[in-house]
Amino acid sequence: MGASTLLHPLDPISPTEIRTASNILIKVVDLLEPPKNEVLAWIANSAISVDRCARVYYHVATSPHLWKAVINVIRCVVVSQEELRDAQGPVDYTEWERVHNACNTHPDVLTEIGKLKLPEGAKVVNDPWSYGTDDGEERRRMFQCYMYIVLNDDPEANHYSLPAPFSPVFDAHTLELCWIDFLPLGTGSEITETQPWNAAHPVEYSERILGSEYFRQDLKPLQILQPEGPSFTVKGHRIAWQKWDFHLGWNLREGPVLNNVTYGGRSLFYCVSMSEMTVPYGDPRTPYHRKQAFDLGDSGFGLTSNTLELGCDCLGHIHYFDGFRCDAQGSPVLMNNVVCMHEVDQGIGWKHTNFRNNNSSVVRDRQLVLQYTATVANYEYILAFIFDQAASLHIEVKATGIVSTMPSRQGVQHEWGTTVAPGVMAANHQHLFNVRINPALDGQRNSIIYEDCIPVASSDPELDPFGNAFRVKPTTITQPGGYQLDVAKSRVYKIINPDHINQISGKPVGYKLHSIPSQMIMMGPSTFNYKRGVFASRPIWVTKYRDDELYAAGEFTNQSREDTGLAVWSERKENVENEDVVLWHTFGLTHVTRPEDFPVMPAEKMMVSLKPTSFFEVNPSNDVPRSNQKFNKSRLTDCSGCQRNDLRI
Amino acid sequence: MGASTLLHPLDPISPTEIRTASNILIKVVDLLEPPKNEVLAWIANSAISVDRCARVYYHVATSPHLWKAVINVIRCVVVSQEELRDAQGPVDYTEWERVHNACNTHPDVLTEIGKLKLPEGAKVVNDPWSYGTDDGEERRRMFQCYMYIVLNDDPEANHYSLPAPFSPVFDAHTLELCWIDFLPLGTGSEITETQPWNAAHPVEYSERILGSEYFRQDLKPLQILQPEGPSFTVKGHRIAWQKWDFHLGWNLREGPVLNNVTYGGRSLFYCVSMSEMTVPYGDPRTPYHRKQAFDLGDSGFGLTSNTLELGCDCLGHIHYFDGFRCDAQGSPVLMNNVVCMHEVDQGIGWKHTNFRNNNSSVVRDRQLVLQYTATVANYEYILAFIFDQAASLHIEVKATGIVSTMPSRQGVQHEWGTTVAPGVMAANHQHLFNVRINPALDGQRNSIIYEDCIPVASSDPELDPFGNAFRVKPTTITQPGGYQLDVAKSRVYKIINPDHINQISGKPVGYKLHSIPSQMIMMGPSTFNYKRGVFASRPIWVTKYRDDELYAAGEFTNQSREDTGLAVWSERKENVENEDVVLWHTFGLTHVTRPEDFPVMPAEKMMVSLKPTSFFEVNPSNDVPRSNQKFNKSRLTDCSGCQRNDLRI
């Protein structure tokens, strides 16, 4: 027998398990989520044994293709093994480094670097990017290496401020240079031979480079004190806080995953996860037209997770979770502090003042935040699952980091982006996220409905003589598919359990999705951008649950030519009403870049929420102790030196 | 000479000024905002004297009409005085109390109360509501008194849990009972004679009534420590914080108002204020069809402001501002702590990790929050102006309090709302807010533009052979009017100064509006709901600045029959390009009520933001000191008792 069975079936892959899987085969090793029926059986009775399996993506010397194996790490057997002739696996650290080194030492690349005639001490770094696709024919595993001039050895020197005007493409298997793309520097697609570098100052964010005089001096400390410690408890990956109870999974692709989420002992969700994210760029000039990252499928929000630092990423009392990846030899590598958990005070949760006597009841909005940061080369995503005391679950996304930069002839202004520093253009792009919700409201069978608010007068003037009435019109989704939002109708999607009726409202118990109405992918259905990310063409998707259908754009996105996820699953003709159903929400932002986004952009925040509706009989936070000074210990500012005009009665 | 001229021209009305104005006339006394050119002259040279004037709404015994006067409180002269034959002024405390008492003591009302056969000790309270309108003919000043049964003397007993089935209408001038509306209890409009009360339990939120066993016990304290005090400074109503500098006005109608907002010494906004808010209800049954509050114009977000309490409404170091209203005798009444100001930590402001060496730069998102709570009878609005270190200004609205309740026959379910407790229906409604922005980006002459993101391929396939390109298409608004959002085009409205060009991007300096796409008012153009609140029919409005044009629905909304604000001003044919221009944003929510909204609803949050775009040459928060443990003093949770599965390597 191999690894321990003491683990929850959805616990992240453990070092022992990685070793067990890697003793057989190596490369990208992660937990293969067990079948749901086995997990549910285990949750009902943890004496039941659930085999734990690892999914392994790997390459072998004799084949240019991706191989995939499933290893049962309990029984130490290979469950399945196949050569995938038409898929590229995600990027792994080792190959990334090999390509990086191959690029930086290739004589042709060095020749181009030489033509730049860089000053003494300057170095050139390169970021191997997912190649994307533009012809559907290319089957080699390729990386597009974007190169940058770095003048400073400071570890926080901006690596993206001085983009070089050429971009080699490498074959990751052979490490051969396929060709060098010369980057257009003007408004059109014209390229020229590499010219000596037109010296420019990098725009820096390093505290050391900027020097202490650069910084504002008047920010005073603000600290969170929790004299009795935090309000949560943790057992392994099981977390309990304020009537919430859930299992925190974690994997290299999705990062943290919420499972078996309950509130007050009632089942809410089998799973909530960040499923995919794609970033198509809007610049048609070669090679930028291929630029379209799938930051979960290509890179992995888990694999690129930062090691979080105490006092930097959160205030207050912090609990951290670790993860594991494997190295090229198949040995487990500890990824320290990849998820942090802490409580925050988010202002007032609810308030009412009886104006007849001025007595106020105030409840504060205490929240539990599970947060992580994924660094995908230049860019950062800060993601969080946030729980509150009114039984709402929020999924927060902050987009920050350094925008992808392109070299530009100085003085040229581009219509595909904004000049963020002299000689540096940041192309406009979209970020389209997909969050996956497998609900289990009071049981595994739920329905998805949407409700529109519709005026009555035009259809029924007798009922509504003054024209003020409006109705809430529900539509039940019976078939899988992609569905639209409609702000003009205040359309709200709801998860309901049609078999459980709220005794007060007479309506089925439900949770509503507070969606983010967003511009969907702008590239048309004939483009590879669209075909690869069909999930980004509609804000709402509904499918019937099946094991292994986790990723909105399908399992393999790297150099993909089509979406093998929602594009396929949503086409099945099957019932999704009062079924084990999955709700997917695509949202995002079209980022028209600004100089203010450079060197590092202020975080752009988006929030999706799941809120109860007829799930409870009263405000679920009615039982939160009222806010008072004894508990909160606020301080009146010392107003010495303050002139208070308005008191001179 | 009267009141002091030491005040900033936009300081709130002072007690002395109230006395000066009231010695002449009495009723609702507030600052009349001085002409902008005088204020700008004073800002340039505060030795210039700006007369301060009070605006007074009042009634005289000899007339049923509203009177309005402007009193120069410096020179002690009446500037103007007029009888308004076709307008109703806002509700004032005194008349509200008179109507309240008239209703609760009127024999016909007592007769109806008697028919309820209430248990010993029960009392009936009433809320005189703005009458609204339904025929355009009624000229009396009316209040619709909604009545509620209260069984408990506790000062926080829920006053809205047991709505009585009748609603008297009173004339506020004569205190005559006009009639009693009997409230429909079934799905249709049928009414019956008052029946003995069908006993029900109120749903309570009072800590005392609920008793300590009701409350969750596991919430541990979380306190904000600011060992060196807050980072702001205050002089009278002038506030400076982290490169921001502004004047905080305050008046009975709008509550706090931001004036002369600058960042790093550069002018941003002459004024930002909450301008209006209307709540039409979607229930066609008489008298509910008339229900449409204008909570600023009818009641006033300043007048209904709560006295905020230390340790309840905010954590940390709090600075309070007071306000003044007048009483029936014209004496100033201190309104203590109507606005609180404090700093919050809103998580990560920006972050970048150099993945080559894992060095992270993190800046936290410290914010300055100016917050207040308006209690308009049953309902609460918590509003805040929030400043951040990336030069963004946010306007936050939290809707909370107790939903307006209607009596219902027990067991009946209504299509106009949701049963939130046995016998209690909460009708669906809309909240439509309007925020007013008078920009002054690097000067008083600005333009409003909007930008759409548009795919290129269909119009220019040669330029975009792979179909991935998109353009940002700007449209300049040249004429006043109401304008649309367009999520499908990621439309963004911007304020720009066309005469000031950003040296990096080559674009005019600007601020963009992060709007909230919302369902607009559902009632059609022929309804009074629409005619009274035309501002709520379009999300974006642009007008040319004129003194005294402050309120989106016009000066008088109480029992109004038409919008005399944006509906009129937006029709003027005049240039608004590169002019003194005003941008208005209408946003809100359609509230389909839930049992979870009762007894007090968890706050529903909305946020409008103004963010720089090409206003600065780099991220304005690049100079914020980096986040570190020495400054932030976070704590690692003590994990004794935690089983950490993943460490068993």
**In 3D, which of B355, B387, B357 has the Cα closest to residue B370?**
B387
Binary contact (B632, A315; C-beta < 8 A): yes
Q: What is the pLDDT of residue A641?
A: 45
Q: What is the pLDDT of residue B378?
A: 96
Asked whether A444 and B264 are in contact (CB, 8 A), the reply is no
Q: Which of A105-109, A559-563, B634-638 has the lowest mean pLDDT?
A: B634-638
Q: Identify the sign of the CA torsion B641, B645, B648, B649.
A: negative
**A644 vs A417, higher pLDDT:** A417
Residue of B nearest to A597 (CA): B619
Binary contact (A220, B230; C-beta < 8 A): yes
Mean per-residue pLDDT for B292-316?
95
Please list every residue in chain A whose beta carbon sits closer than 8 Å to the beta carbon of residue B313: 348, 351, 362, 627
Instruction: Decide: helix, strand or coil at residue B566.
Output: helix
The encoded tokens of residue B145 equal 């008194």
Q: Could you tell me which residues are beta bridge partners of residue B381?
A: B374, B399
Phi-psi region at B401: left, alpha or beta (left = phi > 0; alpha = psi -120 to 50) = left
Share of chain B above pLDDT 90, in %: 87
The encoded tokens of residue A597 equal 């986004």
Distance in Å, alpha carbon of B632 to nearest chain A alpha carbon: 5
B493 belongs to the catalytic site: no
Cα–Cα distance measured from residue B398 to residue B313, given in angstroms and rounded to the nearest whole number: 13
Mean per-residue pLDDT for B70-87?
92
pLDDT band for A16, please (50, 70, 90 cuts).
Answer: confident
Please list every residue in chain B whose beta carbon sits closer than 8 Å to the beta carbon of residue A347: 314, 344, 369, 371, 382, 398
Distance in Å, alpha carbon of B330 to nearest chain A alpha carbon: 14
Cα–Cα distance measured from residue A327 to residue A334, given in angstroms and rounded to the nearest whole number: 10
Distance in Å, alpha carbon of B411 to nearest chain A alpha carbon: 9
Binary contact (B633, A598; C-beta < 8 A): no
* A388 φ/ψ angles, rounded to the nearest 5 degrees: -125, 180
Binary contact (B356, A134; C-beta < 8 A): no
pLDDT tens, residue by residue, B270-281: 999 999 999 999
- Residues of A taking part in catalysis: 295, 379
pLDDT tens, residue by residue, B490-500: 999 999 999 99
Distance in Å, alpha carbon of B620 to nearest chain A alpha carbon: 7
DSSP E strand stretches across A296-392 = 317-326, 332-354, 359-376, 379-388
Binary contact (B458, A377; C-beta < 8 A): no
Preferred mutation among B19, B147, B350 to probe A, highest tally of A CBs within 10 A: B350
Binary contact (A221, B226; C-beta < 8 A): yes
* B287 φ/ψ angles, rounded to the nearest 5 degrees: -95, 10
Asked whether A370 and A256 are in contact (CB, 8 A), the reply is yes
Q: Which domains does chain A have, with CATH numbers?
A: 15-84 (3.10.450.40)
Mean per-residue pLDDT for B182-194?
94
Among candidates A315, A319, A619 on the partner chain, residue whose Cβ is nearest the Cβ of B601? A619
Binary contact (B284, A465; C-beta < 8 A): yes
Q: How many residues does chain A have?
A: 649
Burial A351-377 (b: 16+ CB within 10 A, else e): bbbbbeeeebbbbbbbbbbbbbbbbbb
Binary contact (A420, B504; C-beta < 8 A): yes
The encoded tokens of residue A553 equal 């754009």
Residue of B nearest to A14 (CA): B646
Asked whether B398 and B374 are in contact (CB, 8 A), the reply is no
Asked whether B226 and A222 are in contact (CB, 8 A), the reply is yes
Q: How many CA atoms lie within 13 A of A230 on its CB side?
A: 25
Share of chain A above pLDDT 70, in %: 97
The strand order across the sheet containing B123-130 reads B123-130, B142-150, B166-171, B177-182
The encoded tokens of residue B370 equal 């100016």
Q: What is the pLDDT of residue A444?
A: 97
pLDDT tens, residue by residue, A108-155: 999 999 999 999 999 999 999 999 999 988 989 999 999 999 999 999
DSSP one-letter string for B466-501: TS--EEEEEEE--S-EEE---GGGT-EEEEEEEEEE
Share of chain A above pLDDT 90, in %: 87
DSSP assigned state of B579 = B
Binary contact (A292, B624; C-beta < 8 A): no
Please list every residue in chain B whose beta carbon sits closer than 8 Å to the beta carbon of residue A220: 226-231
Q: Which of B26-40, B366-380, B459-473, B629-643 has the lowest mean pLDDT?
A: B629-643
Q: Could you tell me which residues are beta bridge partners of residue A514?
A: A609
Please list every residue in chain A whose beta carbon sits closer than 8 Å to the beta carbon of residue B501: none
**In 3D, which of B125, B111, B220 has the Cα closest to residue B163?**
B125
Please list every residue in chain B whose beta carbon sits closer than 8 Å to the beta carbon of residue A522: 453-455, 470
Please list every residue in chain A whose beta carbon sits closer than 8 Å to the beta carbon of residue B419: 504-506
Burial B441-467 (b: 16+ CB within 10 A, else e): bbebbbbbbbbbbebbbeeeeeebebb
The encoded tokens of residue B67 equal 């009177």
Q: What is the pLDDT of residue A93?
A: 84
Q: What is the pLDDT of residue A487?
A: 98
Q: Which of B11, B181, B295, B563 is catalytic?
A: B295
- The mean pLDDT value of chain A amounts to 94
Q: How many residues does chain B have?
A: 649
Q: What is the pLDDT of residue B632?
A: 92
The CA–CA distances, whole Å, from A8 to A235, A258, A332, B576 equal 11, 13, 19, 64
Cα-based torsion angle of the residue sequence A221, A224, A226, A227 in order, rounded to the nearest 10 degrees: 10
Q: What is the pLDDT of residue A317?
A: 95
Instruction: Decide: helix, strand or coil at residue A271.
Output: strand
DSSP one-letter string for B344-389: EEEEEEEEEEETTTTEEEEEEEEEEEEEEEEEETTEEEEEEEEEET
DSSP one-letter string for A67-86: EEEEEETTTTEEEEEEEETT
Continuous segment of H or E residues that includes residue B631? helix B629-632
Q: What is the pLDDT of residue B63?
A: 82
Phi-psi region at A596: left, alpha or beta (left = phi > 0; alpha = psi -120 to 50) = alpha
Q: What is the pLDDT of residue B94?
A: 85
Residue of A nearest to B311 (CA): A629
Q: Identify the sign of the CA torsion B533, B538, B544, B550.
A: positive
Which residues lie closer than 8 Å to B199 by C-beta, 6 or more apart?
B119
pLDDT band for A345, please (50, 70, 90 cuts).
Answer: very high
A and B: number of Cβ contacts within 8 A: 637
Residue B585 reports pLDDT greater than 50: yes
Cα–Cα distance measured from residue A489 to residue A454, given in angstroms and rounded to the nearest whole number: 7
Which residues lie closer than 8 Å to A202 by C-beta, 6 or more apart?
A150, A151, A152, A157, A158, A161, A162, A421
Residue of B nearest to A353 (CA): B375
Distance in Å, alpha carbon of B367 to nearest chain A alpha carbon: 11
Residue B3 reports pLDDT greater than 60: no
Residue A331 reports pLDDT greater than 80: yes
Among candidates B205, B523, B634 on the partner chain, residue whose Cβ is nearest the Cβ of A316? B634
Binary contact (A380, B637; C-beta < 8 A): no
Mean per-residue pLDDT for A79-91?
93
Q: What is the pLDDT of residue B648?
A: 42
Among candidates B233, B307, B638 on the partner chain, residue whose Cβ is nearest the Cβ of A358? B307
Q: What is the pLDDT of residue B641?
A: 45
pLDDT tens, residue by residue, A525-572: 999 999 999 999 999 999 999 999 999 999 999 999 999 999 999 999
The strand order across the sheet containing A424-427 reads A405-407, A424-427, A417-421
The encoded tokens of residue A301 equal 């929000």
Among candidates A307, A351, A391 on the partner chain, residue whose Cβ is nearest the Cβ of B400? A351
Binary contact (A453, B590; C-beta < 8 A): yes
Q: What is the gyration radius of the CA atoms in chain B, in angstroms? A: 27
Among candidates B289, B402, B466 on the partner chain, residue whose Cβ is nearest the Cβ of A289? B466
* A441 φ/ψ angles, rounded to the nearest 5 degrees: -70, 115
Residue of A nearest to B214 (CA): A623
Mean per-residue pLDDT for A29-36?
92
Phi-psi region at B392: left, alpha or beta (left = phi > 0; alpha = psi -120 to 50) = beta
- The mean pLDDT value of chain B amounts to 94
DSSP assigned state of B131 = -
Binary contact (A529, B467; C-beta < 8 A): yes
The answer, yes or no, to whether the previous bond of A287 is cis (omega within 30 of 0) is yes
Q: What is the pLDDT of residue A27?
A: 75
The encoded tokens of residue A567 equal 């594009």
Residue B23 reports pLDDT greater than 90: no
The encoded tokens of residue B617 equal 């040459």
Residue B353 corresponds to which amino acid? T
The encoded tokens of residue B174 equal 């004569």
pLDDT band for A94, please (50, 70, 90 cuts).
Answer: confident
Distance in Å, alpha carbon of A64 to nearest chain B alpha carbon: 28
Please list every residue in chain A whose beta carbon sits closer than 8 Å to the beta carbon of residue B413: 505-506
Cα–Cα distance measured from residue A584 to residue A648, given in angstroms and rounded to the nearest whole number: 59
Asked whether A250 and A273 are in contact (CB, 8 A), the reply is no
Please list every residue in chain A whose beta carbon sits closer than 8 Å to the beta carbon of residue B634: 223-224, 310-311, 314-318
Binary contact (B594, A505; C-beta < 8 A): yes
Please list every residue in chain B whose beta carbon sits closer than 8 Å to the beta carbon of residue A594: 505, 612-614
**pTM: predicted TM-score of the whole model, two decimal places:** 0.96
Question: What does the H/E/C string look like for B148-211?
Answer: EEECCCCCCCCCCCCECCEEEEEECCCCCEEEEEECCCCCCCCCCCCCCCCCCCCCCCCHHHHC
Please list every residue in chain A whose beta carbon sits closer than 8 Å to the beta carbon of residue B210: 622-623
